[in-house]
Structure 1
C-alpha cells in the first residue's frame, strides 16, 4: 500500500502512520532499528528503497528516506508512506524536503525514529567527508557509505580514511567479504610458507580491490601493489604464488601442491552488502585497518 501526502507536516504523517497500522494491521513490533537513507539530487531513491526493503527481511526496520527538492522553492514537506507488500518487512516513510527545509533534515526525521532502537544512516550516493559530523550521521550509531558509485573512488576512500569515526563502514568493503573469506581460508592451509609480497588487480574504478589491498597491507605486513585488469589477488610465497581469480562460476584459488579450489560466489548486490552491514552495530576495526592500509598500497606502473 502506498499513500501520498503532499504539502503535509510531521504530525499529519505520524497520524497517517497510526491510521494505516490500525486499519491494515501493520505494526512496529519486532522492528530492530531505524534506517535513514539520505539521497542527493543525483540519486534515484527507488534503487536504495528496493535494497532497503530486501535487507529489512532479515532486519525488520522503519526506513526513512530523505530526498531534497529545489532550495529556491517555497518551504514545503511532501511525503509518501509505504507499508505491506510495498515495504518488505518494514514501513517506508519518504520525506521530500523543499526550500529552506532541505537544510534541516534532522529536525524532520527525529519524530519518526523508533524509540529504544539503534539508528543507522546510509548515504547510497554522495556522502559527507565526515559522516559522524553530518546532521543525519549524528543521529546514528552506524554510518554506511558506498564508494562503488563515486566518480573518484580513490578520493572517496581517502576521505573515508581521514574522516573515519568508530561506526563508519562502506558497502565497497562488504562487497569484498567472499574474497577475504576465501583468501583467509587459503592462507590457513598448510604448508604455512612465508608471504613476501602481494599483488591485487581489478578495474581502475573499483574501490573494493583497493580495500582488499589495504587489508592485505595491514594483515600481512608485506609490500602490496595494485594493478589494473581482470580481478586477481596474488600472494607471493617462498614455495610459489597463491593466486585467486574469477571465472564464470565464481572464485578460483590456485596454490602449489594443492588442487584448484573453487567458491561459487557472485558479485554482491547492494541489498546483500547492506544486509551484512546491518548485522553489526559495533565498530568495524578491520575496515578501519583496511582504510589505514591504503597508504601502503603502491600503484603498479
Structure 2
C-alpha cells in the first residue's frame, strides 16, 4: 500500500501510518529499529532498495530524508513537506516513509524526523553519499546511536578518512570498513592456526580505495609491524602478504570473487571472498549497535601516521653534513648550503610519491 501526502505535517504522517497498518490488518508494530536515510533524488532508489533488502533481517521503520533544493528565492522561503508512505509488500518487512523537504524546511530536517522515530527503539542514520564531515555533530546524526557513512563515495576518500578520524564519535562507522570484515576474519584465522611471528606486511589494491587503507591501518595497529601499501588494477582489494620468520602468508583475490590462501607448510586453499552488495554491508552494520572500538583504533592510528609522514621536516643528509664539516668548504656558508638543499628536495619528492600512492 502506498499513500501520498502533500503539504503535510509529522502528526498527519503518524496518523496515516496507524491507519495504513489497520487497513492491511497488521496493527501491531514488530520493528526493531528506525533507519534514517539521508540522500538525494538521484541515489534515493538504490539506497531504499538496499534498506528494504536489509529489513528482511532487521525489520525497521525506514525514513528517507530527501532535501529538495529550491531554485528561486521565493520558493526557498516557502517551507513544504511532502511524504510518501509505504506499508505491506511495498515496504519489505517494515514500513517506509519518504520525506521530501522544500524551502526553509531543509535546514530543520531533525524537527521533522524526530516525531516519526519509533519509541524505545534504536536509531541508525545512514548517508549513502554526501555525509557531513562531523557525523555526530550534524542535526540528524545527533539522533542516532549508530551513524553509517561510506568514504568510498567521497571525491577524496583518503582525505575523508582523515576527517572521520578527527571528528570520530562512538557509534560512527564506515561501509569501507565493513567491506574488509571477511579479509580481517580470514587473516586472523590464519594467524591463529599457528604461532607465526609477523615481521612486515603488504596490502595490495586499487588506488583511492579507502578499504585498502583501513586494512593496512588495522594490520599496523594490531601487529605493530611496518605495513607497505602497493597498487594494483583491482578490482578493489587484491592481496595481503604477511612476512613471517617461517615464510610468507598470502591471501590473494585477483577476480573479486575467489581468493587463494597460501601458508608455509600447508597446501594452498581456495576461499570464497566475493565483493558484497550494499544491502549485505548494511545488514552487517545493523547487527551491532554498540561502538566499534577496533574501527576507531585503526582509523586514528592510520591518520596519525599519515600526518607524521606528511608534516615531518626533511632530514639533513648525514654524508653531506660530514663533507661540509670536514671538506675544503667548511667555512664557506654558500658551498655548505648547496648539498643541504639537494638533500631536502629528495625527501619532499618521496612524500609526494607516498601521497600519490596512498589509496586502497
- TM normalised by structure 2 equals 0.80
The equivalent of 1:234 in structure 2 is 241
Flag the structure with higher helix content.
2
CA distance in 2, matches of 1:214, 1:22: 51
CA distance in 1, matches of 2:187, 2:44: 35
Please say which structure displays the higher CA radius of gyration: 2
The equivalent of 2:314 in structure 1 is none
Segments ≥4 residues shifted beyond 3 Å: 295-301
CA distance in 2, matches of 1:47, 1:152: 22
CA distance in 1, matches of 2:20, 2:231: 52
The equivalent of 1:58 in structure 2 is 57
**Which one of the candidate residues 188, 198, 201 is aligned to 1:198?**
201
The equivalent of 2:252 in structure 1 is 245
Preserved contact between residue 26 and residue 83 of structure 1 (Cα < 8 Å): no
Deviations 1:225-259 (A, max 9, x none): 11110411111112221111114452211122111
The equivalent of 1:96 in structure 2 is 100
Structure 2: give runs of 5+ residues left out of the alignment.
310-353
CA distance in 1, matches of 2:284, 2:27: 25
Range with bigger deviation, 238-247 or 60-69: 238-247
The equivalent of 1:19 in structure 2 is 19
- TM normalised by structure 1 equals 0.95
Higher relative contact order (CA 8 A, sep 6+): 1
CA distance in 2, matches of 1:14, 1:193: 58
Residue 100 and residue 28 in structure 1: after superposition, are their counterparts in 2 closer, same or farther (change >3 A)? farther
CA distance in 1, matches of 2:2, 2:95: 10
The equivalent of 2:297 in structure 1 is 289
Preserved contact between residue 205 and residue 212 of structure 2 (Cα < 8 Å): yes
Range with bigger deviation, 141-150 or 238-247: 238-247
CA distance in 2, matches of 1:269, 1:129: 24
CA distance in 2, matches of 1:20, 1:281: 29
Count how many residue pairs are aligned between Structure 1 and Structure 2: 299
Range with bigger deviation, 164-173 or 262-271: 262-271
Preserved contact between residue 253 and residue 273 of structure 2 (Cα < 8 Å): no
CA distance in 2, matches of 1:150, 1:250: 28
Deviations 1:141-184 (A, max 9, x none): 11111112111110111111111101111111111111111111
CA distance in 2, matches of 1:28, 1:110: 21
